[in-house]
Chain A
Amino acid sequence: MAEVLVYVDHVDGAVRKPTLELLTLARRLGEPVAVALGNGAADTAATLAEHGAVKVLTHDASEYAEYLVVPKVDALQAAYEALSPAAVLVPSSAEGKEIAARLALRIGSGIITDAVDLEAGDEGPVATQSVFAASFTTKSRVIKGTPVITVKPNSAAVEAAPAAGAVEALSVTFSDKATGTKVTGRTPRESTGRPELTEAAIVVSGGRGVNGAENFSIIEALADQLGAAVGASRAAVDAGWYPHTNQVGQTGKSVSPQLYIANGISGAIQHRAGMQTSKTIVAVNKDAEAPIFELVDFGVVGDLFDVVPQLTEEIKTRKG
């Protein structure tokens, strides 16, 4: 059976959920072989094996942390050359897309980014994408070379599928371009204890209607009752009320949770671009004409300062 290379996104050995989703999709195309790089690479093997990786190629070197993107491209290329896989799958993070694109160019292949589904086709994998702010769905194929495809978080269910997951050391020689862009400092993002925005099953967002940084505690309280991640519109981020890392939309994160709750958000096209594929959408907005109501499964026309705390209380009561 053909092998499918899966690039592993992990933090010091802790595999992030989108990679496990990739393994589910990879199994539709062939036998997943994972590539894990950098600090803790070998620690990823057990989790990857549980989810279907037949092999885990690992390599650690200080270059991965000290220089931007290119060392990882060099390593993925080394894995590609060692294996001649049928496809290469990479998580659709900003960095993932850059790595994938440069690899595709080097190996004379095409690249598809931000797939939301993948299936095997007679002529190779067919990728589903959501375009024009999710108003269209396309099916695309790479028609030259080995398909290199990046896949968005929440595109497939994580499934246990125990496989050998044999660890093998990958041999990597860095190119002379690998050290071009130096990472001179790094401030890790502080953990909020809440789920990762792109991975969360429920996202509770606040917009301009929240009217102040201090009022975001209302949004957070609801999120915490639901075990949800907190999102924000660009208007709320630009006003300095919530960090940019939490922005949902075209220039923020794109989310596709089971449930999205928009509070005081009008639903501009650029915001919709990042949340329109959510399974269930709920909104609270005092303006009955707000475009967000075109998307909702359930909407409340009302003041969020009344509705949201009442909702939070009611959930608390129901949970007992």
Chain B
Amino acid sequence: MSLRIVVTVKYVPDATGDRHFADDLTVDRDDVDGLLSELDEYAVEQALQIAENADDAEVTVLTVGPEDAKDALRKALSMGADKAIHVEDDDLHGTDAIGTSLVLAKAVEKAGYDLVISGMASTDGTMGVVPALVAERLGVPQVTLLSEVSVEDGTVKGRRDGDAASEQLEAQLPAVVSVTDQSGEARYPSFKGIMAAKKKPVQSWDLSDLDIDAEEVGLDGAFTKVEAATERPARTAGTIVKDEGEGGKQLAEFLASQKFI
């Protein structure tokens, strides 16, 4: 019996680019180059490793996003995923985390799954809540924020490094997992992988394929509203001194002037 793994990946604006908001206060996805969220590469990597260790497994990558989000799927396919699903619909523009989790949950169910693997957070929204929301919607265990993960005999195990303690977790499949950037470096696509990816199937679904009403998602369906976005004023230029033997003392003088010492 094949282990069906679905990896949720997000196409995000490049963090090193000039990220900003569009007029409707959604994240501007047109003017900044996008890419597969680096944090979702870790999810793809763990999915591939789990698949390699299983007798028979299939890795599907799933994204919800605009046309360009296909780039993220291609990258994941060239890393080694078997097939891809792209949920794309004009009515999805402005969807918030609650709405995204609905679309992902419906798509995962339609695709068929034993294991969903997500990243720890998207690099644009950085909420880190979508995996927990998808688990809640699917009614399956959430085994999230794992720095180490393994699957054996229908059980997923992993280590979650929390604030107060490091925990060993365990759940039966089907389950939703998310992995951190401590889970292990993601592989680079090989030339062969890049060529092979071109032939791998990418399905496109829209909202009607998932039986979702337009009002449930997008800006109209959103549960939250951004009312204002202002660029943070640049920090006023500080004093910079070159150390010529007294740098530490000068720094101490500054700290004293600010009452830190």
Contact = CB atoms under 8 A, between A and B. Distances in A.
A binds B: yes
A181 to B, nearest CB: 4
A114 B224 CA distance: 14
Nearest to B253: A314
Contacts of A109: 223
B199 interface: no
B98 A298 contact: no
Given A135-B231, A251-B39, A311-B252, A300 B243 contact: yes
A307 B251 contact: yes
Contact of B252 (A69, A306, A315): A315
B243 A299 contact: no
Interface residues of A, number: 90
A307 B248 CA distance: 4
B187 to A, nearest CB: 17
Contacts of B139: 177
A300 B253 CA distance: 12
Of the candidates B129, B170, B224, the one having the most CB atoms from chain A within 10 angstroms of its own CB is: B224
Contacts of A302: 242-243, 247
Interface string B156-185: 010011111111111110010000111000
B226 to A, nearest CB: 5
Given A105-B101, A183-B169, A296-B240, A110 B249 contact: no
A213 interface: no
Contacts of A142: 223-224
Nearest to B25: A138
A284 interface: yes
B188 interface: no
Of the candidates B96, B223, B232, B238, the one having the most CB atoms from chain A within 10 angstroms of its own CB is: B223
Contacts of A132: 15, 19-20, 124
Interface in B133-156: 133, 135-137, 139-145, 147
Contacts of A280: 258, 260
B16 A269 contact: yes
Contacts of A189: 163-166
A214 interface: no
Contact of A101 (B97, B231, B234, B243): B97
A138 B226 contact: yes
Interface string A272-307: 010010001110100010000111111111110011
Contact of B224 (A143, A177, A187): A143
A98 B129 contact: yes
A309 interface: yes
A293 B243 CA distance: 14
A102 interface: yes
Interface string B218-261: 00001111111111101100111111011111111011101011
Contact of B137 (A105, A131, A273, A315): A105
A204 to B, nearest CB: 11
Contacts of B16: 269
A133 interface: yes
Interface in B56-113: 96-98, 101
B171 A269 contact: no
Of the candidates B137, B248, B252, the one having the most CB atoms from chain A within 10 angstroms of its own CB is: B248
Given A69-B142, A143-B224, A186-B166, A288 B260 contact: no
A1 interface: no
A162 interface: no
Given A180-B171, A184-B168, A189-B165, 16 more contacts: A97-B127, A98-B129, A105-B137, A138-B227, A180-B140, A182-B170, A187-B167, A244-B147, A251-B39, A259-B260, A281-B238, A284-B251, A299-B241, A301-B243, A306-B243, A307-B247
18 contacts: A97-B129, A136-B230, A137-B230, A138-B228, A138-B230, A181-B169, A182-B171, A186-B165, A250-B126, A281-B235, A296-B238, A296-B240, A297-B239, A300-B241, A300-B250, A314-B248, A314-B252, A315-B252
Interface of B: 15-16, 19-21, 25, 39, 96-98, 101, 120-121, 123-124, 126-129, 132-133, 135-137, 139-145, 147, 157, 160-172, 175, 180-182, 222-232, 234-235, 238-243, 245-252, 254-256, 258, 260-261
